[in-house]
Structure 1
């Protein structure tokens, strides 16, 4: 016979009380260890647990000489409890923030080193934020793509600036900046003084080159297939260092090497054919805990980068 649980029905305040007791018992490892935290006796805890199991028509745990342990159903209910009470806390935080002045931290992470152009743009963003909400404590820092994605998903950051080559579930991506990335070499490299028509595909494939360190888009992957990938550098500044050594060729944004091109420290190889597009995205959680702060950042970026 199929068992029927209370859970698909409306959950009452009494059910929530019993579930809170159940979660506390699980996290303390048994009835006796939970007495102090709950402020009730072991026998009262036992009664509450029996009531919960009766209302749910499920066996949640075993208790006896062998000690306290969860059944398979009990483990499932415990994990559901965590999600349930986290959602209630998130709801409470959202309601408390509605109509109130924003406070606390506003956290923005960047995955790339900032060139002069991007520094000026971000300075405008910060000015906008300060004018709108001067009481907010702004945190602007850099980190790896993986760490930024994780921080966004865990509501430990509000917005990240990331290359939009790949997108993961739970995050939204809005392109704010786009420019081509070119294959470059330095004045110390043998290809620097060669004409483009002398640098054939075969010759190009001989030179040690740099992999960008992440899975880029299809256009970029096709360009990398033509090269002898012998080093790896994700950050633009470390990649530029490898190229300036004269030992490697590699891809960099044109805006990032303006001064090197002007001073003839670097050159672009096959300007029209060995390039791919770099897109920088403003990334945020689809359902963030602090919606107002994310909306504020989105408004700032829209104003500055539009």
Structure 2
């Protein structure tokens, strides 16, 4: 095969289109799997891939009974194309930072479901974002803490909201709010109708309890040491469901169980002793790519959560 590529310099839009199809095929592990993502048939994908290989004068992939795989040249081209598209994205972001009007995506990620109070606060944040920068495309979503940390470090998100339980190098943490967390049980649990003074430390340590799933502050760790940690739940909503089963006791913020408290479905156990603070942090990358967007969000969150 003639090794002289006929890809023009600079790249034509047609070649960029073929390269995007190539990346999608690789990311999805084959032609069939890429059909839905690309919105074109397998036969059309095959034609595009053949055209790309012909234009490059390179064999990029192998397909047949053994499945889909990249050749050595294909692996090299794939890595180069990923770098190319990241550079194009960096260029778009750079242009956006030079514009007086903020535009593009503004990504906020939370690690847990929001109670009514935080929903209202977040609604104020959204309102102020829309008022200050109406051209921004707001993305507000929930993710596990580890995913939020990675997204912030990779500039895939601008702000994260999650408990201040550990500090990752490269991220900046700002305390946003605190709320007391209490040990509680449901109506079906043996402790529900038992007076607090009659629940001994030994009894507390004998019944199954729920671990919050992440390392928490020293006060929380000391409280958890008193319990028989037989289950784990990262989110408050799933933890509440486990408590409502009557099989477990667990720590919950009062705001998340107020409805159940009012209706006699859940009770708090020894609130003066079995409690620790839940600290929510506003987290951002220390040197973010889009610093102007992060500053906008930080200023708005500070304004809404600490109006004084």
CA distance in 2, matches of 1:213, 1:34: 56
Please say if 1:263 is aligned against 2:263: yes
- Give the deviation of 1:100 after TM superposition: 2.2
Unaligned regions of 5+ residues in structure 1, if any?
Answer: 1-31, 40-81
Q: What's the counterpart of residue 279 of structure 2?
A: 279
Unaligned regions of 5+ residues in structure 2, if any?
Answer: 10-82
Q: What's the counterpart of residue 67 of structure 1?
A: none
CA distance in 2, matches of 1:110, 1:284: 12
CA distance in 2, matches of 1:34, 1:180: 69
Change (3 A) 1:223 1:143: same
Q: What's the counterpart of residue 175 of structure 1?
A: 175
CA distance in 2, matches of 1:128, 1:220: 35
CA distance in 1, matches of 2:144, 2:96: 33
Change (3 A) 1:33 1:97: farther
Q: What's the counterpart of residue 216 of structure 2?
A: 216
Q: What's the counterpart of residue 138 of structure 1?
A: 138
Q: What's the counterpart of residue 207 of structure 1?
A: 207
Q: What's the counterpart of residue 228 of structure 1?
A: 228
- Which protein shows a greater Rg? 1
Q: Deviations over 1:186-236 (max 9, x none)?
A: 111000111111101001001100010111111111111110111111100
Change (3 A) 1:230 1:293: same
TM-score scaled by structure 1? 0.71
Matches within 5 A, 1:57-96: 93-94=93-94
Over aligned residue pairs, what C-alpha RMSD do you find? 2.6
CA distance in 2, matches of 1:127, 1:33: 57
CA distance in 2, matches of 1:178, 1:299: 19
Matches within 5 A, 1:158-197: 158-197=158-197
Q: What's the counterpart of residue 247 of structure 2?
A: 247
CA distance in 2, matches of 1:34, 1:207: 73
> Is the partner of 1:272 in helix, strand or coil?
coil
Q: Deviations over 1:230-280 (max 9, x none)?
A: 111110000000001111000000111111111111111111111111001
TM-score scaled by structure 2? 0.70
CA distance in 2, matches of 1:151, 1:34: 40
Number of equivalent positions: 235
